[in-house]
Amino acid sequence: MLVISSREFRQNQKMYFERADKGEQIIVQRGKDKAYALIPVGEEDLYFTAEMVERIKESIKQVEEGKTKKVSTSQEINDLLGL
């Protein structure tokens, strides 16, 4: 893990982005009590990927068609989740 100052990061951003892309852990220290991790963001890190949007649309369609199951007790939740 590499800890650098925010000034160092600003001066050499490209180099630190490339190092993070290669898997190195980079921490940017800002002042005495603030620090940030520099990590690449992948497709799986995005909140709404194309696959997730499609799943949401399918779920809305199922609700509109009445294909839902009412769950009201903790036992019913456990049964639904297979616990």
Nearest one of 29, 23, 24, 25 to 8, comparing CA atoms: 29
pLDDT digits over 37-63, tens only?
999 988 777 778 788 889 999 999 999
Contacts of residues 30-35 at CB distance under 8 Å and 24 or more positions apart, as own/partner, are: 30/5, 30/6, 35/3
pLDDT digits (tens, 9 = 90+) for 3-46: 999 999 999 999 999 999 999 999 999 998 999 999 998 877 77
Predicted model pTM: 0.55
CA atoms within 13 A on the CB side of 17: 6
CA end-to-end span of the chain: 40
Write the CATH number of the domain with boundaries 2-38: 3.40.1620
Query: Which pLDDT score is estimated for 52?
Result: 85
Sorted by where each begins, the domain ranges of the chain are 2-38, 43-81
